[in-house]
Structure 1
Amino acid sequence: MTRYDVKRELKQCYAPKNTDWALVEVPAQRFLAVEGSGVPSFDADYGRAVEALYAVAYTLKFTSRRELDRDFVVGPLEGLWWAEDPEVFVTRDKDAWSWRMLISQPDWITGDLVEEARQAALAKKGLPAIADVRHETLHEGTSAQVLHVGSYDDEGPVLARLHHEYLAAHGLCMTGHHHEVYLSDPRRTDPARLRTVLRQPVRAVRPHRG
């Protein structure tokens, strides 16, 4: 049985090499999603949401293998982040952040399979946040993207360059939520070695003459 691995199938989105901003085309993807707001701490609502997300993701993996004879690697944790003022991501004012945590799913995973897995995970794990996990499709299209190596709190200057230099220089504006793909586990990786894909959907506002 060949296992589907989103990191292999969508290398441009999950294994970029560029450490400065560059454009990429992001196809439509299906995700498990759970939403919240405030400081992203594993000791608070954020941590319970992530735990619920993984509980459903692994239940789906085993359900797919058992019922459909189709296996897949559970994808990395991802997050959409937004706020009334995008500058709070540059200043790291985390109390003002809202978030939607995601795990990518193969295209054969249907809403019915997600609901079956959600009910099974809720019965087994008893985590209340599982009730908030849902199935959704996201199509970001043209996006500015960079591989950030280092602490999450060191993202501020990288995002400042996007907001104040790169977008204007290329005649672009932001069209969707700030997106992060976490390629490293922060509980097991030195902060200086964390690898995170930073992504921002964009559109052209004028012809680029650079």
Structure 2
Amino acid sequence: MAFDYKKEYKNLYHPKKQPEIIRVPKMNYIAVSGSGDPNQEDGTYQKALGLLYGLAYTIKMSKKGEHKIPGYFDYVVPPLEGLWWSKDQQKIDYAHKENFAWISMIRLPDFVTKKEFDWAIKTATEKKKQDFSQAKFFTYDEGLCVQIMHTGSYDNEPATIEEMHQFVKKENYQIDIQNPRYHHEIYLSDPRRTKTERLKTVIRLPIK
């Protein structure tokens, strides 16, 4: 049976519906950075997703090719994630998504080294006749955070985020959003196949 990160690490991917504090370990990702409205048709965000999934499945399906990655085990591709901020300010303004800046990313299994990542870039570029060089091997050490499971529209996140802020204050912590620690979301639902009111998103904020 394929290893499923969502099932094996429920503390990271299935938080409670109330805020909770967690220390997140360092992890490696495929990452593409950019800016602009993520909903723009054929925009930079949509193109970034194509790069991420193209590489994720190049690595996953390497088991069927001649190139054998040391330590490889079969796994379910982890969910899409994103680090978000607004240009020139810390607070995300949902009314002006054109000002969003982001790092879109998918977790890599531990057996994927920088060398194997570079192999995947080269292989995907050759097979798909597309430039994948914008994607980077990204290590993120998130550390101490507050997180919650948000259900519903992405546009309704501000109320959930306010709940997280109040919880953090009550617990005598402070929100610590500053480079390189950002507002973090993990998308457990496919918006193309899930009703808006049932979308499940992990929201995670760095604290100190």
Using the size of structure 2 for normalisation, the TM-score is 0.88
Residue 204 of structure 2 is aligned to residue 202 of structure 1: no
Q: How many residues align?
A: 198
Q: Find the counterpart in structure 1 of residue 190 from structure 2.
A: 185
| Richer in helix (by share) | 1
Alpha-carbon deviations, 1:112-137, whole Å to 9, x = none? 11111111111222333x21111121
2:175 is the counterpart of 1:174: yes
Q: 2:103 aligns with which of 100, 103, 113?
A: 100
One-letter code of the match for 2:59?
L
Q: Which position in structure 2 is the counterpart of 1:207?
A: none
Q: Secondary structure at the match of 2:55?
A: helix
Structure 1 gap segments, 5+ residues each: 204-210
Cα deviation 1:106-157 (Å, max 9, x = unaligned): 11111111111111111222333x2111112111121100001101111121
CA RMSD across the alignment = 1.7
- Give the 3 Å change call, closer, same or farther, for CA 7–190 of structure 1 in structure 2: same
- For 2:197 and 2:143, locate their aligned partners in 1 and report how far apart those are by CA, in whole Å: 30
Q: Aligned letter for 1:171?
A: N
1:206 corresponds to: none
- The offset of 1:65, in angstroms, is 6.2
TM-score (norm 1): 0.87
The one-letter amino acid of 2:58's match is T
Aligned to 1:160: 162
8 Å CA contact retained: 1:6, 1:104:
no
Greater mean deviation of Cα atoms: 190-199 or 34-43: 34-43
Distance of aligned partners of 1:4 and 1:155 in 2 relative to their CA distance in 1, 3 Å threshold: same
1:51 matches 2:56? no
Alpha-carbon spacing, 1:107–1:64, altered in 2? closer, same or farther (3 Å): farther
1:157 is matched by which residue type in structure 2? A
Counterpart in the other structure of 2:151: 149
**Mapped contact 2:84–2:92 kept (Cα < 8 A):** no
For structure 2, the 5+ residue unaligned runs are: none
- In the alignment, which residue of structure 2 is the partner of 1:26? 24
Letter of the 2:26 counterpart = A
CA shift, 1:85, in A, is 2.4
- Whether 2:85 is the aligned partner of 1:86: answer no
